[in-house]
Structure 1
Amino acid sequence: MLPTATVDDRVLLRQIACLERIDTHLLERLRHEAVTVPQEGEWVAEYAQYQSGGWSTLSLLNDSGEPADVKIKDCAPVETALLQRMPVTRKFLSSLGLRYMWVRLARLEPNSFLWEHRDYDELDELERHRLHVPLMTNSSAALVTGGAKIRLRPGRIWRLAPTHVHGACNLLGPDRYHLILDCYSDDRLVEATANEWLSDDDVVQLPVATQVELDRWYVKAQSLARLGYQQSAEKFLLRLFYERAVPEGLVYDMIASLYDSLDRPAEADQWRSNKTILLGLPQSEGQPA
């Protein structure tokens, strides 16, 4: 029995957990297909507002059969032309016996981020879960959720509750490749989650940001912005989410406040709007009246 994480065990386990292990030989074959079958020009960079750049996907199961159709929605999915060129992956997905909503292959390049966000807010109120199958990763790639940084190790199927605020990063590379399976809840999924676990060595608790640290980050970003490096200032503050445990949405508030201090109301309002969209907040919570 693997030890469970000591960092907010029960809360963190609701957000992220391991379900099953994958045979090493099978993992190597899945990885080979993911790296060699898609062509460079096929990858699609969707959800631009949610990322720094460097995150792209291709669909394996979706509503149209077109690999480049990657914006998820509720549907009874069909195989895409890409999946038909990936027989090992196709057989693996079938073997899991899950009721899929959408399946994508995702690539996160070095020095790339998925900013703090929630998913599924725009979808119907059906019970669904997101499974990650890491195929290729590195020690600088991690998921951040619940104030902790989790390295999603290959060789396991991971369950993520994306309705909780989370983000992802790949700091140094090489490229990170994951299979992302969005699934509807059914008896098979309940069975798969019955013995989920999270190991201590998968989890690094982020230190809680002090007010002194937050003030220091804000002043540094303000200096960058006043020198004309506004995008660098934004990214500097956005990266705070991956280095410190901070209250939900605080980095977006800091960026909006930064533009208020520069007397740039349009940019300040845009970041308040971004907070509403990315965190799935009611209009009144994330935007000015």
Structure 2
Amino acid sequence: MKTAFLKLPFHFSEEKLLKDLEVCKKYEFTSHFNKNDYSGDWTSISLRSPNGETNNIFALPQTEKKYKDTELLQKCTYFKAIIDSFECEKESIRLLNLKPGSVIKEHTDYNLGYEDGIFRIHIPIVTNKGVHFFINYEEVKMLPEECWYGNFNLPHSVRNEGKTDRIHLVMDCLRNDWSDKLFAESGYNFEAENVQPEYSRETKLQMIEQLKLMDTEISREMILQLQKEL
């Protein structure tokens, strides 16, 4: 069975994470672009984006555009130190904020598992006991100071039933020898990663709608491939 999630062997300072979060709160967060995937209030701000702007929150894996650090990242010295400690290339890096009472509906992403050459990292900054994060139908309790990988090709959803925000630092990183060693030490199942996921017709249609919102050359190529598979 493919590895759905992994807790990675890092331990960060909650105090320093919160300090950089306060810097980010002085900027405007942008509502997530895919309105179909959530209800309530789900917002984001970019520390690294395709054009270097904080309000560009698109995160398409291995896009044709070179990702750039935003001006905000330069003001967040601890976030930058964490990012630099990952010895691999990075694409999108964002803060994602799920407000109280909000829900990210169950969905699957496309080409967003370690087997695809990319891995998404979640570092919780603010959370509460009412947050319920499910990956492949299993609840994952992510706490501040921790670091997690999730295979988001698999079904996943989040509910914030608490009274405070849920804010994570989310990084998309490109796989290399350093990350292979890290994942091996953390218990990743390499033998299972070549098993191709079987997406339902409904899931493929949802993926196509998500990719249409991005409107890039690579997203259009993905749409054509998915349409052939319908």
Q: Quick check: 1:120 aligned with 2:110?
A: yes
What's the secondary structure of 1:20's corresponding residue? coil
Corresponding residue to 2:8 among 15, 19, 23: 19
Alignment-mate amino acid for residue 39 of structure 2: S
Following superposition, the deviation at residue 275 of structure 1 comes to 7.8
Q: Quick check: 1:48 aligned with 2:38?
A: no
- Give the Cα separation in 1 of the matches to 2:207 and 2:69: 34
Q: Quick check: 1:32 aligned with 2:22?
A: no
Q: Quick check: 1:167 aligned with 2:167?
A: no
Long gaps (5+) in structure 1:
1-9, 199-247, 254-271
- Give the Cα separation in 2 of the matches to 1:140 and 1:197: 28
Cα deviation per residue 1:164-189 (whole Å; 9 max; x = unaligned)?
Answer: 11111111231011011111111121
Where do residues 142-153 of structure 1 align in structure 2 (5 Å cutoff)?
142-153=132-143
Alignment-mate amino acid for residue 52 of structure 1: S
- Give the Cα separation in 2 of the matches to 1:79 and 1:108: 23
- Is the Cα–Cα contact under 8 Å of residues 45 and 95 in structure 2 kept in the other structure? yes
Alignment-mate amino acid for residue 69 of structure 2: E
- Is the Cα–Cα contact under 8 Å of residues 126 and 184 in structure 1 kept in the other structure? no
Q: What is the aligned-residue identity percentage?
A: 23
Following superposition, the deviation at residue 120 of structure 1 comes to 3.1
Instruction: Provide TM-score, normalisation by structure 2.
Output: 0.76
Find the counterpart in structure 2 of residue 86 from structure 1. 76
- Give the Cα separation in 1 of the matches to 2:81 and 2:141: 26
Q: Greater CA radius of gyration, 1 or 2?
A: 1
Alignment-mate amino acid for residue 43 of structure 1: F
Cα deviation per residue 1:69-116 (whole Å; 9 max; x = unaligned)?
Answer: 001132432210111121121122112222101111111110111111
- Is the Cα–Cα contact under 8 Å of residues 117 and 278 in structure 1 kept in the other structure? no
Alignment-mate amino acid for residue 9 of structure 2: E
Find the counterpart in structure 2 of residue 106 from structure 1. 96
Closer, same or farther in 2 for the Cα pair 1:160/1:180, shift >3 Å?
A: same
- Give the Cα separation in 1 of the matches to 2:165 and 2:25: 15
Closer, same or farther in 2 for the Cα pair 1:278/1:62, shift >3 Å?
A: closer
- Give the Cα separation in 2 of the matches to 1:157 and 1:33: 17
Alignment-mate amino acid for residue 154 of structure 1: P
What's the secondary structure of 1:139's corresponding residue? coil
Where do residues 160-199 of structure 1 align in structure 2 (5 Å cutoff)?
160-196=150-186
Find the counterpart in structure 2 of residue 7 from structure 1. none
- After alignment, is 181-190 or 140-149 more displaced? 140-149
What's the secondary structure of 2:59's corresponding residue? coil
Alignment-mate amino acid for residue 120 of structure 1: Y
- Give the Cα separation in 2 of the matches to 1:94 and 1:71: 21
Instruction: Provide TM-score, normalisation by structure 1.
Output: 0.61
Alignment-mate amino acid for residue 6 of structure 2: A
Following superposition, the deviation at residue 142 of structure 1 comes to 2.2
Cα deviation per residue 1:4-30 (whole Å; 9 max; x = unaligned)?
Answer: xxxxxx55xx1111012314xx23201
Cα deviation per residue 1:235-267 (whole Å; 9 max; x = unaligned)?
Answer: xxxxxxxxxxxxx98xx89xxxxxxxxxxxxxx
Alignment-mate amino acid for residue 69 of structure 1: N
Closer, same or farther in 2 for the Cα pair 1:282/1:83, shift >3 Å?
A: same
Find the counterpart in structure 2 of residue 241 from structure 1. none
Over the residues paired in the alignment, what is the CA RMSD in angstroms? Answer: 3.1
Cα deviation per residue 1:140-163 (whole Å; 9 max; x = unaligned)?
Answer: 112112222211122221001111
- Is the Cα–Cα contact under 8 Å of residues 137 and 156 in structure 2 kept in the other structure? no
Which structure would you say has the larger RCO, counting Cα contacts within 8 Å and 6 or more residues apart? Answer: 2
